[in-house]
């Protein structure tokens, strides 16, 4: 066996239109593992059945493995050959056969974290999307579904716990201190949902009784010492199970549900059938080490993976072009769940903020792709904000257009029709059409057209009679490979407020914008109506609307849709900032007044207030401009922050003067109050007031939990006080043995608004606690740097160089995580000629590296276009 990756020199492009049904199915598969950290022997028995009419060779995918022996129907078989990494077995005229292949793999040297790998002396698997082929030869495509029987054997001291999908049906002791277990999963599944875990783990056990009265045993498996930090994940799991029954009528279908937390993991978590594998950061939480945001992350990801049991596992994807079928729908489901568990408006604001931060730039850059892509080279590169988050918005729009009851009829029909199948996005849309009774012909364009639609709104007045008309236009921008676009169906929730007693409609309406230009009669208004547009962010679009003077202020204070209130205040801040950045005189007065109003608003939920008064991010300000000037944005944003800090000093001090809620209190109200305190501290610190560092240090030292501690540390990290150094040092010494908290220590320094952050990141990369082998650590340092606009775009190009160096160093170890660092370099068109030249030069330097992975090659070469 070799561990060489079978990456071809010239990446092959795979096209959605080339899909052909599999010629062979594998109804049953038995796997036998003789486990060892640096040598694991795998024997696979595949019962294969021909579906093609004529004889066809059996194509079994492989990546970095070689067959030790091939047997067919019990006899050694020589009619096979290798093609690239794949194994082609010639079965002659046979229509069915039992094919056995033995392989040997080395989990210890598997730094890609795909297939079977070692993490902290434990063995675990990651098979989505195409990792199963690194374990054994197999068609390894999601439309081949099999029943799995998994036997594993290993040293009992090293691997006391042996887990796989489904139920443990037998176990026993072997010779020489070894033991074994046999697991069976009754539900046919694609290979990407296979999982195995072996190691020294402890469990938090609980149970859940389903709506039909079946008792399900729940287990969360972690390393000894971590079990006390699994309570929140367990509660989230039980809440998710109950929610999916209540809201979607979906019941869990095995007697056992296990979750395992691993430290080295490329993504957030994985929905393997009955055995979810999680990044520790989405399982472990206690008030001393996790922020409120971390707690919410745990709850959301546990729900997401659990919901996949129906949207993903029971109904899976036909091919990887359909990835958004399971991901968009499941993100929509987890967003709805989290909204129900906390505050719906605040959750909506957070989701939209994420969409704008991660997906809009993707849709506007060289890597733009529709939620159902037409081609790819490496599927790992398509686990994107477009597939996930824009995908969720597409599902949300369907739900908005038909309402909750009809939407439920649609999803019921979808699950009924396709249970046990590998389905397509088209199958989902058809089920919603048929079940909910709606024509989605034009709406389907959301699946095929990339790019964020841009809407222009204008209100015209008929001077003779005071009739007002809303004129809407839409433009879907050109994206790579899609120069021309057709107009989309865009559902816009709108409401026009009448301040002056005309006869305007004051009810909310759902406008279905389905053409390039459209006129919507609003009725008669004596003075211009206050128009609330795209309420609740009903469509993932950009709206340009030249507003009347004072309109945004009015909406920020009075709109009855909280999202629209938030949006109005954000727009007011954006307008002020964009004016300032373009060198024109701007006035912070209106923003200050609107923030004051929001702070003192009577029924104000502190979590909502905290979100609403937060300034837009530097990146989002940049997104409003044709050519981004990161330094001017940094300067003007800090200036506005300081002005707001000074003008509302007593309000901020009053918020901080109140007692902080106990860190153990995790109610939405307590979380909201902590969030608002963090925002207040940041505003005060921005003023540079004499006591700001002391104040922050006081909060840092006095904090009884991580939310306040991290907020204070992050605030201090922006400055250069002696308290900054002290706090960083205290934090490091206290948490140096807790990897997840140490990630925060790296992260707050890379987030810093100081002018020496790039140099600081370069120095931190040499820190003894920094390592390229842990994706969380890499993201904490370098991911934070590329999210720090002015630092990443430092004028001398040092930020770009650092990221490119990282990509080159990481690619040979972990191409998937390396490739994820490239997209920020691909935004060169927006940052002016000097920066563009440097960014392109770094992309070219990456591409010049011999032996580059398919992952990085695809991202870097597309980023240059």
Q: Which residues bind ligand 0A1 (CB under 6 A)?
A: 126, 128, 266-271, 304-305, 327, 383
Q: Distance (Å, rounded) from C-alpha 350 to C-alpha 774?
A: 27
Q: Strand, helix or coil at 484?
A: coil
Among ligand 0A1, Zn ion, none, partner that 266 touches (CB below 5 to 8 angstroms by kind): ligand 0A1
Among ligand 0A1, Zn ion, none, partner that 811 touches (CB below 5 to 8 angstroms by kind): none
Q: Distance (Å, rounded) from C-alpha 410 to C-alpha 421?
A: 17
For the CB of residue 143, give the shortest distance to ligand 0A1 in the complex, in Å.
Answer: 17
Among Zn ion, ligand 0A1, none, partner that 495 touches (CB below 5 to 8 angstroms by kind): none
**Cis status, amide bond into 129, omega within 30 of 0:** yes
Catalytic pick among 305, 362, 393, 618: 305
CB atoms within 10 A of CB 381: 23
Quick one: 327 or 393, whose CB is closer to Zn ion?
A: 327
463 CB contacts (<8 Å, ≥6 apart)? none
Q: For residues 256 and 217, is the Cβ–Cβ distance under 8 A?
A: yes
Q: How far is CA 660 from CA 226, 590, 706, 708, in A?
A: 27, 30, 12, 9
Q: Distance (Å, rounded) from C-alpha 625 to C-alpha 683?
A: 25
Q: Distance (Å, rounded) from C-alpha 55 to C-alpha 449?
A: 39
Q: Which residue has the tokens 């997209």?
A: 823
Among ligand 0A1, Zn ion, none, partner that 128 touches (CB below 5 to 8 angstroms by kind): ligand 0A1
For the CB of residue 786, give the shortest distance to Zn ion in the complex, in Å.
Answer: 23
Q: Distance (Å, rounded) from C-alpha 263 to C-alpha 222?
A: 10
**Backbone dihedral region of 651: left (phi > 0), alpha (psi from -120 to 50 degrees) or beta?**
alpha
Q: Has 305 been annotated as catalytic?
A: yes
Among Zn ion, ligand 0A1, none, partner that 838 touches (CB below 5 to 8 angstroms by kind): none
Among Zn ion, ligand 0A1, none, partner that 268 touches (CB below 5 to 8 angstroms by kind): ligand 0A1
Q: How many CA atoms within 13 Å lie on the side-chain side of 656?
A: 27
For the CB of residue 358, give the shortest distance to Zn ion in the complex, in Å.
Answer: 15
Among ligand 0A1, Zn ion, none, partner that 336 touches (CB below 5 to 8 angstroms by kind): none
Among ligand 0A1, Zn ion, none, partner that 270 touches (CB below 5 to 8 angstroms by kind): ligand 0A1
Phi, psi of 485 (to 5 degrees): -125, 150
Among Zn ion, ligand 0A1, none, partner that 267 touches (CB below 5 to 8 angstroms by kind): ligand 0A1
Quick one: 330 or 343, whose CB is closer to Zn ion?
A: 330
Q: Distance (Å, rounded) from C-alpha 330 to C-alpha 389?
A: 10
Beta-sheet strands, E only, within 51-166: 58-60, 69-72, 75-76, 80-83, 86-89, 96-105, 115-119, 122-126, 145-155, 161-164
Quick one: 130 or 708, whose CB is closer to ligand 0A1?
A: 130
Q: For residues 774 and 279, is the Cβ–Cβ distance under 8 A?
A: no
For the CB of residue 1, give the shortest distance to ligand 0A1 in the complex, in Å.
Answer: 22
Q: Strand, helix or coil at 44?
A: strand
Q: How far is CA 333 from CA 86, 427, 483, in A?
A: 37, 18, 33
For the CB of residue 262, give the shortest distance to ligand 0A1 in the complex, in Å.
Answer: 11
835 CB contacts (<8 Å, ≥6 apart)? 793, 795, 797, 828
Q: Strand, helix or coil at 583?
A: coil
Pairing type for strands 256-262 and 215-222 reads parallel
Residues that bind Zn ion (CB under 5 A): 327, 330
487 CB contacts (<8 Å, ≥6 apart)? 474, 476, 514, 515, 516
Pairing type for strands 40-50 and 96-105 reads antiparallel
Among Zn ion, ligand 0A1, none, partner that 496 touches (CB below 5 to 8 angstroms by kind): none
Q: Strand, helix or coil at 464?
A: coil
Quick one: 190 or 491, whose CB is closer to Zn ion?
A: 190
Quick one: 223 or 390, whose CB is closer to Zn ion?
A: 390
Q: Distance (Å, rounded) from C-alpha 682 to C-alpha 466?
A: 47
Quick one: 761 or 778, whose CB is closer to ligand 0A1?
A: 778
For the CB of residue 308, give the shortest distance to ligand 0A1 in the complex, in Å.
Answer: 7
For the CB of residue 279, give the shortest distance to ligand 0A1 in the complex, in Å.
Answer: 9
Helices (H), 437-583: 445-448, 551-558, 562-581
Which are the catalytic amino acids? Answer: 305
């Amino acid at each position: 066996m070799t561990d060489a990756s079978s990456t071809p020199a010239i990446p092959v492009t795979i096209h959605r239109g080339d899909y052909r049904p599999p010629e062979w199915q594998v109804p049953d598969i038995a796997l036998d593992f003789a486990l060892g950290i640096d040598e694991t022997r795998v024997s696979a028995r595949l019962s294969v059945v021909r579906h093609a009419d004529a004889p066809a060779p059996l194509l079994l995918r492989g990546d970095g493995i070689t067959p030790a022996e091939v047997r067919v129907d019990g006899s050694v078989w020589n009619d096979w050959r290798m093609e690239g990494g794949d194994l082609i077995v010639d079965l002659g005229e046979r229509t069915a056969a039992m094919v056995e292949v033995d392989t040997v793999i080395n989990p210890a040297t598997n730094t890609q974290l795909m297939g079977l790998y070692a993490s902290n002396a434990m063995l675990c698997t990651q098979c989505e999307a195409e990792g199963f082929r690194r374990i054994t030869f197999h068609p390894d495509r999601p439309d081949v579904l099999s029943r799995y029987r998994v036997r594993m054997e290993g040293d009992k001291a090293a691997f006391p716990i042996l887990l796989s999908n489904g139920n443990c049906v037998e176990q026993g002791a072997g010779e020489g201190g070894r033991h074994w277990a046999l697991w069976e999963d009754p539900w046919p599944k694609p290979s990407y949902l296979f999982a195995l875990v072996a190691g020294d783990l402890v469990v938090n056990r609980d149970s859940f009784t389903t709506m039909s009265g079946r008792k399900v045993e729940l287990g969360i498996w972690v390393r000894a010492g971590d079990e006390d930090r699994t309570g929140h994940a367990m509660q989230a799991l039980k809440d998710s199970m109950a929610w999916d029954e209540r809201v979607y009528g979906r019941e869990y279908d095995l007697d056992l549900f296990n979750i395992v937390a691993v430290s080295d993991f490329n993504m957030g978590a994985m929905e393997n059938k009955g055995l979810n594998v999680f990044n520790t950061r989405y399982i472990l939480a206690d008030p001393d080490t996790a922020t409120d945001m971390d707690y919410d992350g745990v709850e959301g990801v546990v729900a997401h993976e659990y919901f996949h049991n129906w949207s993903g596992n029971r109904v899976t994807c036909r091919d990887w072009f359909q990835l958004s079928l399971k991901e968009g729908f499941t993100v929509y489901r987890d967003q709805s769940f989290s909204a129900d568990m906390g505050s719906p408006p605040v959750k909506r604001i957070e989701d939209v903020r994420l969409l704008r931060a991660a997906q809009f730039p993707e849709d506007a850059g060289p890597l733009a792709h529709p939620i159902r892509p037409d081609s790819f080279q490496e599927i790992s590169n398509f686990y994107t904000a477009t597939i996930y988050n824009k995908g969720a918005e597409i599902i949300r729009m369907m739900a908005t257009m038909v309402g909750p009851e009809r939407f439920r009829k649609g999803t019921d029909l979808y699950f009924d029709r396709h249970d046990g199948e590998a389905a397509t996005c088209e199958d989902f849309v058809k089920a919603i059409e048929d079940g909910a009774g709606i024509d989605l012909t034009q709406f389907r364009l959301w699946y095929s057209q990339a790019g964020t639609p841009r809407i222009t709104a204008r209100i015209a007045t008929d001077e003779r009679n005071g009739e007002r008309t809303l004129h809407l236009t839409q433009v879907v921008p050109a994206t790579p490979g899609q120069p021309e676009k057709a107009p989309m169906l865009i559902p816009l929730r709108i409401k026009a407020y009448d301040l002056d007693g005309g006869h305007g409609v004051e009810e909310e309406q759902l406008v279905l914008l389905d053409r390039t230009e459209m006129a919507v009669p609003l009725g008669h208004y004596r003075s211009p109506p206050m128009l609330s547009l795209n309420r609740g962010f009903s469509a993932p679009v950009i709206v340009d609307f030249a507003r009347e003077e004072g309109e945004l202020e009015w909406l920020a204070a009075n709109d009855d849709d909280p999202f629209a209130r938030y949006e109005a205040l954000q727009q007011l801040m954006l307008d002020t900032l964009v004016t300032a950045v373009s060198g024109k005189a701007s006035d912070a007065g209106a923003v200050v007044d609107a923030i004051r109003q929001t702070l003192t608003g009577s029924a104000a939920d502190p979590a909502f207030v905290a979100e609403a008064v937060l300034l837009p991010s530097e990146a989002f300000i940049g997104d409003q401009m044709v050519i981004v000037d990161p330094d001017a944005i940094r300067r003007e944003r800090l200036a506005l922050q300081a002005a707001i800090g000074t003008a509302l000093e007593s309000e901020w001090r009053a918020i901080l003067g109140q007692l902080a809620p106990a860190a153990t209190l995790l109610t939405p109200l307590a979380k909201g109050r902590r969030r608002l305190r963090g925002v207040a501290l940041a505003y005060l610190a921005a003023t540079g007031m004499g006591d700001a560092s002391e104040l922050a240090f006081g909060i840092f030292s006095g904090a009884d939990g991580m939310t306040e501690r991290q907020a204070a540390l992050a605030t201090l990290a922006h400055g250069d006080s002696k308290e900054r150094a002290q706090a960083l040092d205290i934090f490091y010494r206290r948490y140096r043995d807790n990897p997840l908290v140490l990630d925060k220590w790296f992260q707050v320094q890379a987030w810093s608004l100081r002018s020496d952050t790039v140099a600081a990141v370069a120095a931190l990369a040499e820190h003894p606690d920094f390592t390229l082998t842990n994706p969380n650590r890499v993201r904490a340092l370098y991911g934070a740097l590329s999210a720090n606009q002015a630092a990443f775009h430092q004028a001398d190009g040092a930020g770009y160089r650092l990221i490119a160096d990282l990509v080159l160093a990481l690619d040979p170890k972990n191409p998937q995580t390396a490739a994820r660092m490239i997209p920020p370099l691909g935004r060169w068109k927006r940052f002016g000629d000097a920066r563009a030249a440097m960014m392109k030069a770094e992309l070219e330097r990456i591409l010049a590296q011999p032996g580059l992975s398919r992952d990085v090659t695809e991202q870097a070469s597309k980023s240059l276009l």
